[in-house]
Structure 1
Amino acid sequence: MNSSSSDIVVVGGAAIGSATAYFLKAVLGYAGTVTVVERDPTYAFSSTTLSAASIRQQFSTPENIRMSLFGLEILRSLEERFGPGADVGFHEGGYLLLATEAGKAILEQNWQVQQAEGAEIDLLGPETLRQEFPWLNVEGIASGAYGRRGEGWFDSHSLLDLFRKAAREAGALYVRDEVVGVEHGKGWVEAVRLKSGGRIACGTLVNAAGPQAGAVAAMAGLALPVEPRKRSVFVVRCRTPLPRMPLLVEPGGIYIRPEGEVYICGGAEEERGEKRADGDFDVDYSLFENAVWPALAAQVPALEELKLIRAWAGHYEYNTLDQNAIIGPHPALPNFYFANGFSGHGLQQSPAAGRAIAELITTGRFQTLDLSVFGYQRVIDDEPVFELNVI
């Protein structure tokens, strides 16, 4: 068995794992060794690269808003951080969340929280919505929350590449392999075992394994309520121009946004009774025909004439407790750190999560953002932190 050692082992090298390595080495100047173990450096099936790659501040939990605002700060300062030419194609097209009368109070309540956190979100009534977006059917719509600035979409591959390259240049080592075991004893992680037969002794382990995070935690004898869930994304073409379309979310949670000359849409999955998606990357085309298309056509009449061009399916790390992140160490295994369970908003929160984990490891506490609300203790206590704006 090939044996080596590393002060920190990060399990998973996609957005969150690479952001953690970046902040440890390139930003905080951590002098120890950092090894990132990634089983697929092409990221062909990664949640990061298969996501809809967007960022918003329209959350109901203050800490989620703050994490997103931190991510926005990163997106707006790429050249300053990563050098001339650094670009992820960030398009601040905005989010528009629509609500019927039944959901209006929650939308307004969330908007108050967003305003208090400094997010630039406008609350619009039906007539204003009609004027701003003439192609929108506002019948039955009581209100809409519109992020004119700071919300939009970007290229996930490019952001991952920036984090990964900067982390490697600062000294992080990336290893193509898969963690298949975690050696631990007396309240301490001692090493990880690799599929290749290797072993890496470590002082700290960071679980950034995305949809496989629950399995990695189980290797250390820890319970983590995170599992892979499948999400289908559909690429469509519309004959009628829809000027200034933001990322639109209709009251039922189905979304659509521009992507160049086409649009991507989805969001029809029913979470209740949903199964794990281990190894399943087959697109569920029935969702498009039976739910996505009818809902979008009702909200935007021009979308009645759609042409489905292609589709893909990806996994995200679904937190079955409360669909929110779990960030920080395990109380009984303090050198095992979680950065898991983001439930669809991990890419946009990867900068804040990576920074937070790096700060916890190097200083013992949160510095930039206090994310203690997302600590593991709530899993033990069965005290969920529910997000009212789950998209």
Structure 2
Amino acid sequence: MSVRAKYDVVIAGGGILGCYVAYFLKQRNPAIDVAVIEADPTYEYASTVRASGGARRLFSCPENIAMSSFSIERIKNFSTEMAAGDSPAAIDWVEQGYLFIVSGVKAMRLLEENAHVQRSLGADIQLLDREGLKHLLPSMHVADLDGAAYSPGDGWCDPNSFLQGTRKKAGSLGVEFISDRVAGFTNTGGRIAGTILAGGATVKADSFVNAAGPWAAQVSAMAGMCLPVSPLRRFEHYFTGHRRIEPLPYVKDLNRLAFRSEGQGFSGGLVNSDEPRGFNFDVDHGYFDKVVWPALAHRFPTAFEGVKCHRTWSGLYEQCELDGNPIIGNWTGNHENFYVVAGFSGHGMMHAPAAGRGIAELIDKGRFETIDLSRMGYERVLKHAPYRERGIL
């Protein structure tokens, strides 16, 4: 497909976030011309296809809870809502819940406070004490735990199908996907005027969106914007235990151990928050035995005293170094037609529908019309005013 000289909106990044921005723009205005610039149409290194696929309401910030609720409903209805023509969009949603386990009085108090906020926004949250945990999951070692928050309506999906289905739907609505890389921007009168592509073309537009995931800081830097987003390598593992246990929800703890049932085995890992930042996709095949297995064996000794890791792969979080929350909005007071939707710190897939809708609202109407995401804007970066989750990772 030849690249046109002018579009209404150009989006840098064709992952799940860029696709959802494009989709909602076309939903709101079918006549709008939208181009998505994606350097790797195979998505070999895209964060979405290397993700675990989880979607949960267990957050403390109201915006994140509201985004999750909206997104989960979209994921649950994905097969019909995102069908292109007569072909349903299979996504393999598994509604088996999320379980956030903690130790200590202070941590339990935070879970209780968070549950109050979550319930006020319509989330079904159950607070469990140690006995309740043991009743829910008899195989779990709970002696060192004080309780948990359980959200039975949460779950996970197949992230690759999620991405491919969204891209296909956006394309069916007329979104153009351009296989190229953003190499720079031109500006006129305090606004971004054009995108310079690595292939040599310059594409003009009225609005530009940075949805480049782990590469978002590099894209913003080309526009003169400092974005505190860094690539953080993390590993995902598929493994089996030597004994069958009850079906698991997505289990998470404060040490960033996170895993769930997957077919006849399990999928998950333990994120090293101190991992050096950078575009590193190398796999440490000893990481599972050194770090993940001891945590699994401690928490579920019956199943994981003996465990076999069948596969390990790496992916990148787009880590927001300011506060771990995403940056969603435009560059107010500077290039105001330059929008950012990045820095989700591992939550990009689950929040993509809501965040994509929010950016589409901003571009179309100049304001958030449904979920008010103003506190997630770039202004907090300029003011160095972190907006963090409380007691939740």
What TM bracket, shorter-length normalisation? Answer: over 0.9
Separation in 2 of the partners of 1:290 and 1:165? 40
Counterpart amino acid of 2:134? R
Counterpart of 1:385 in 2: which secondary structure? coil
Residue number in structure 1 paired with 2:5: 4
Shift of 1:85: 2.6
SS at match of 2:336: strand
Q: Does 1:314 align with 2:318?
A: no
User: Does residue 281 of structure 2 align to residue 281 of structure 1?
Assistant: yes
- Cα distance in 1 for partners of 2:65, 2:156 equals 16
Partner of 1:261: 264
Match of 1:13 in 2: 14
Q: Deviations over 1:107-140 (max 9, x none)?
A: 2221221111111111011111111211011111
Structure 1 residues 343 and 198: CA distance shift in structure 2, 3 A: same
Secondary structure of 2:207's partner? strand
Are the aligned partners of 1:3 and 1:199 in contact in 2 as well (CA < 8 Å)? Answer: no
Cα distance in structure 1, aligned partners of 2:208 and 2:18: 11
- Structure 2 residue 345 is matched with structure 1 residue 343: yes
Q: Give matches, 1:1-391, under 5 Å.
A: 4-25=5-26, 27-83=27-83, 85-102=88-105, 103-149=107-153, 151-271=154-274, 274-278=275-279, 280-301=280-301, 302-331=303-332, 332-391=334-393
8 Å Cα contact 2:232/2:277 also seen in 1? yes
Quickly say closer, same or farther: Cα 1:352–1:307, change in 2 above 3 A. same
Contiguous gaps of at least 5 residues in structure 1: none
CA distance in 2, matches of 1:203, 1:295: 50
Moved more, 206-215 or 114-123: 114-123
1:322 shift after superposition? 0.5
Could you tell me which amino acid in structure 2 is paired with residue 263 of structure 1? F
**Alpha carbons 1:250, 1:299 under 8 Å: kept:** no
Aligned to 2:216, the other structure's residue is in SS state helix
Counterpart-to-counterpart distance in 2, 1:383 and 1:185: 30
Q: Distance in 2 between matches of 1:284 and 1:96?
A: 28
Q: C-alpha separation between the residues in 1 aligned to 2:266 and 2:163?
A: 23
2:144 partner SS = coil
Flag the 1:251–1:340 CA change in 2: closer, same or farther, 3 A.
closer
SS in 1 for 2:141: coil
SS of equivalent to 1:161: helix
How far the C-alpha of 1:390 sits from its partner, in A, is: 4.4
The letter of the residue matching 1:318 is: Q
Q: Which letter maps to 1:140?
A: D
- Measured after TM superposition, the shift of residue 21 of structure 1 is 0.6
Question: 2:298, 2:65 → 1: CA distance?
Answer: 30
In structure 1, distance between residues paired with 2:233 and 2:278: 6
TM-score, scaled relative to structure 2: 0.95
Maintained 8 Å contact 1:268/1:287? no
After superposing the two structures, state which structure 1 stretch, 281-290 or 54-63, moved more. Answer: 281-290
Match of 1:285, SS state, is coil
Q: Which amino acid aligns with 1:39?
A: A
Residue 389 of structure 1 deviates from its aligned partner by 4.8
Instruction: Tell me the distance in 1 between the aligned counterparts of 2:102 and 2:165.
Output: 37
What is the Cα deviation at residue 144 of structure 1? 0.9
- 1:256-299 CA-to-partner distances (Å, cap 9, x unmatched) read 1111112112124033xx42222x11123343223211111111
Letter in 2 for 1:228: P
Amino acid of the residue matched to residue 55 of structure 1? A
Inter-partner Cα distance in structure 2 for 1:261 and 1:313: 22
3-state DSSP of counterpart to 1:269: coil
TM-score (norm 1): 0.95
Superposed displacement of residue 33, structure 1: 1.0
CA deviation profile, 1:21-67 (whole Å, cap 9, x unmatched):
11111x21242211000001111100111111110000010110000
Query: Cα offset for 1:252?
Result: 2.0
Q: Report the secondary structure of 1:217's partner residue.
A: helix
**Letter aligned with residue 215 of structure 2:** Q
Counterpart contact for 1:328–1:375, Cα < 8 Å: yes
- Closer/same/farther in 2, CA of residues 251 and 193 from structure 1, 3 Å limit: closer
3-state SS of paired residue (1:106): helix
Q: Which runs of 5+ in 2 are unaligned?
A: none
Q: Partners in 2 of 1:314 and 1:80 — Cα distance?
A: 29
Moved over 4 A (4+): none
For residues 322-367 of structure 1, give each alpha carbon's deviation from its aligned partner in whole angstroms, at most 9, with x where no partner exists. 1111111101110000001000000000000110111110111111
User: Once the 2 structures are TM-superposed, how far is the Cα of residue 75 of structure 1 from its aligned partner?
Assistant: 1.5
Give the letter for the 1:139 counterpart: A
